[in-house]
A and B are shown apart, each in its own frame.
Chain A
Amino acid sequence: MSEFQLYADAFTEADRGDLVGFSCGESKSGKFCTEWIMGSGAFDSMNRGSSVWLYRIETGQVVGYGSVGLVNWRWPMPDGKYTRLLYIPMLGIDQKFQGQPPDPDWRYSRQIMQHLVTNAIRMNGERKKPAEYLLLLVDPTNEAAIRLYQRFEFQLIPDVTYGAGLSVMKHRLAK
């Protein structure tokens, strides 16, 4: 197995100690990615039913984290019916591991995305009424993140922003 192989485990309170020194960087996106996992954001999301994973390398060092959740939204009125959507609340990579390793086949960001999409597909397959889309929010100024998501077949939804000017990307799930 490659030394760059990532390992994934469900994030628990006991893992907090492993996050000492974890930082996704000083950019705007980096700061909120760090704060989500270091503060109460991840556990708030888990309380709403999301799954959060920590990704480690063989030595146990934390490379990053990722999450997948399910939300019930309503179509606009007058329809107003509920529809289920899968989404990736947040993912982050410690700045030491961003862009690493040089071999794109083992790039940590891609291993994490692969794992998240695979899990979203698995979760969807377990549902009687599967969701049609997997969504995520992205800082529209974070071009590297957008490119990464596009590589995993996410499309930017035009003319839609959410909350603090975040763009929404969608990935149409396999049947």
Chain B
Amino acid sequence: MEHFISLIVRSIFVDNMVFAFFLGMCSYLAVSKSVKTAIGLGIAVVFVEVITLPVNYLLQTAVLANGALVEGVDLTFLAFILFIAVIAGIVQLVEMIVERFAPALYSQLGIFLPLIAVNCAIMGGSLFMQQRIGMEANNPQAILNFWDSVAYALGSGIGWMVAIVLFAAVREKMEYCNIPKPLRGLGIAFITVGLMAMAFMCFSGIKM
């Protein structure tokens, strides 16, 4: 239980997907112009991450790992194709389910939902999970069982959401600032993210 909570907190603040690993930057920069859409996309990312990452964990441990399916056969080289297929498939499924049962949420998320399939935060989550499986048990980053993978998915999804909502709030205020012309838009956005990443570096001292 302790490890479960520590994984969540670490992946929100210390191993933040955006500020520490630069993942999901494309949609992060494109969809952060208003807080409302940022929250929508954030929820969608948490949702998809929490579903795909544990599925990929099961896939990795039960099928791909060395000797998991047939003794002496290592299928890890197939990981990229299988992970992305799982993600694309699940995004499609989630889209259909949300459209059927929560039309209000569906129209709010709009085109973000299908775009999540190519959001690197999701794929990155799965690939980091694959790396972390082999870690030693006393490592705070290690993913030792199925529930750890759920915790990591939850934490990294929420971490991404926190990052985009904070950034969108700053950006809304920045609309009224007098910024040098060549820096407007993309340039100042990068500088803002850099400053926020610096602020988040303070969390890296947390020991749990």
Q: Do A and B come from one complex?
A: no
